[in-house]
Amino acid sequence: MNISQVYNYLNHDLVPKRRTRTHKASELKAVYNSISKYNQSSPLYLVSLSESRQEHMIDIKEQALTLRDITDQLANPDSELYTKKQIFTDNPDAVSGSFRAHASGELPDHMTLQIDQLANEQVNVGTYLDSDGTALAPGSYSFSMQTIHGNLPFTLSVSGADTNLSLQEQLADQINRRHIDVRASIIKEGNTSALMLASADTGTPETVSSLYFTFDKKQGAEVVDTFGLNQIQTYPENARFYINDLVHSSTSNHISINQVAEFDFHKVTDTPVNVQFTPDKSLLVDQMTNFTDAYNQLVTLSEEGEPTSIGSRNLYHDISGIVTRHEEQLASIGITIGEDHRMQFDVAQANGISYDTLNTLFGENSSLRADIGKTVNRLTLDPLAYIDRLIVTYPNAKEKQTATYTQSVYSGLMYNNYA
């Protein structure tokens, strides 16, 4: 396997995908100065760059960068870890909630909802008639329906072979084919049947009658009366509810809070329903698992050398120092160190982790983050320091000279086959 294959393998299959980084000119200058200062006192080494050693050095730097990226995410109060929340209600049978996709806005940590009245659709249930009988004489009957879309005429044709059920089905079919936001269906009870009409929308409409539809008895009274088309079983009503003791109304049982959270009302409640907006703990579990995995991968890399390898011992010494100095703090967020020297995160403790504690532990001024940053800088500045190499000569202690491009030995690992 040549080095281009090694790099492509590591890039696509081994190293977790990290967000592309951008750097200010000042940051790049700081890296340059660090390399320059480091090489002023660095001896000249003879290094045997076998394929396995090249892979090893690339792994060290990539895993170190992964650890730093995850630490930065844990430290960022604007990341999803801190801003993405979940909705919990203590009565999900009455009120359920969800967040709108790609929405952003302010929400309280807690609120209450009490449902006094659900929004209702208009439902008319006609007269139950003998399904096999005939209540209308053969002929053509005209009638009209008043809706929010206007006055709609209908014609019912009755033949000698028709029954009450077939005529009800004919009426339902005509109404449904008009697509007027009124659904028609047949209810059967024993040998009787009735026509049921329901509005597609809920809430009180802005019409003179406050109804979604009515039938004109002046025209087609025989059809309207025979089938009971104007018999209202449920009147359309708005939902009436309280948000933190303030009364509100809605034409729907689906509402939005600050264009961020959405709630569905399922039934009336006698007492307020408690609603909490809490951080998404699944993200916390994922991030903490990623953090421990990144650290543990560096421990694994420190074990891949020979038992007598100075480079491997140095690698373990540098990364284990993070833990030894902050073991008590890490334990407060459920991270312990096992006998195999690896971090272990107790998922069961996730619900008890305080986000304030997490932000303090990984925040901008935390000693843990500073120690991780120093360790990562050492690992990324000179990954060659973690393989065995032979000192050829020491630099002149009196006249130190910069040797910035000594690091090109490492950078060339990834590109030496493309020259």
The predicted pLDDT at position 1 comes to 47
Same structural domain, 262 and 367: no
Q: Which residue has the tokens 């006055």?
A: 151
Co-location of 184 and 259 in the same domain: no
Determine, yes or no, domain membership for 61. Answer: yes
Cβ-proximal residues to 372 (8 Å cutoff; 6+ apart), any chain:
67, 68, 71, 322
Q: Which stretch of DSSP H or E encloses residue 58?
A: helix 51-75
> Under a CB-based contact definition with an 8 Å cutoff, are residues 111 and 242 in contact?
no
385 Cβ contact list (under 8 Å, min separation 6): 311, 314, 378
Quote the domain boundaries for residue 349. Answer: 3-81+281-414
> What pLDDT, on a 0 to 100 scale, did the predictor assign at position 388?
77
Whether residue 378 sits in one domain with residue 301? yes
- Residue 179 DSSP class: T
Torsion of CA 398, 400, 401, 403, to 10 degrees: 140
Q: Which tokens hold the place of 199?
A: 């509005």
For tokens 């997490």, name the residue.
358
Contact present, 350 and 6 (Cβ < 8 Å): no
329, burial (CB in 10 Å: exposed 0-12, middle 13-18, buried 19+): middle
More confident residue, 57 or 115: 115
Residue 204 sits in the same domain as residue 192: yes
Instruction: Choose the final residue of a domain: 234, 258, 292.
Output: 234
Report the percentage of the chain scoring pLDDT > 90.
49
Residue at 155 is within a domain: yes
Mean of pLDDT values over 261-289:
93
pLDDT beyond 70 at 181: yes
Question: What confidence tens digit (pLDDT) does each residue in 191-250 have?
Answer: 999 999 999 999 999 999 999 999 988 888 999 999 999 999 999 999 999 999 999 999
Contact 250, 181 (CB under 8 A): no
What's the Cα-to-Cα distance from 22 to each of 13, 19, 25, 49, 66, rounded to whole Å? 23, 10, 10, 30, 15
Query: How much is the average pLDDT of 253-282?
Result: 93
Position 419 in a domain = no
If asked whether residues 188 and 214 sit together in one domain, one would say yes
The answer on 220 and 270 residing in a single domain is no
Tell me the C-alpha distance between 376 and 388, whole Å.
20
The Cα 315–Cα 406 span in angstroms is 21
Does residue 222 fall inside a structural domain? yes
My answer on whether 286 and 389 are in the same domain is: yes
Contact 374, 347 (CB under 8 A): no
- Cβ neighbours, 10 Å, residue 292: 19
pTM of the model as a whole: 0.65
Domain count, the chain: 3
Q: Provide the pLDDT confidence category of residue 9 given band limits of 50, 70 and 90.
A: low
Same domain, 289 and 410: yes
pLDDT band at 418 (very low <50, low <70, confident <90, very high): very low
Same domain assignment for residues 109 and 141: no
Q: Are residues 402 and 285 in the same domain?
A: yes
Q: Are residues 112 and 250 in the same domain?
A: yes
The alpha carbon of 52 is separated from its chain's Cα centroid by a whole number of angstroms, namely: 40
Check pLDDT > 80 for residue 90.
yes
18-54 tens-digit pLDDT: 555 666 788 777 777 777 777 777 777 777 777 888 8
DSSP 8-class letter at 383:
G
Does one domain contain both 264 and 306?
no
Higher pLDDT, 122 or 340: 122
In angstroms, the CA 278 to CA 341 distance is: 34
Residue 120 DSSP one-character state: B
Q: How far is CA 198 from the centre of its chain?
A: 36
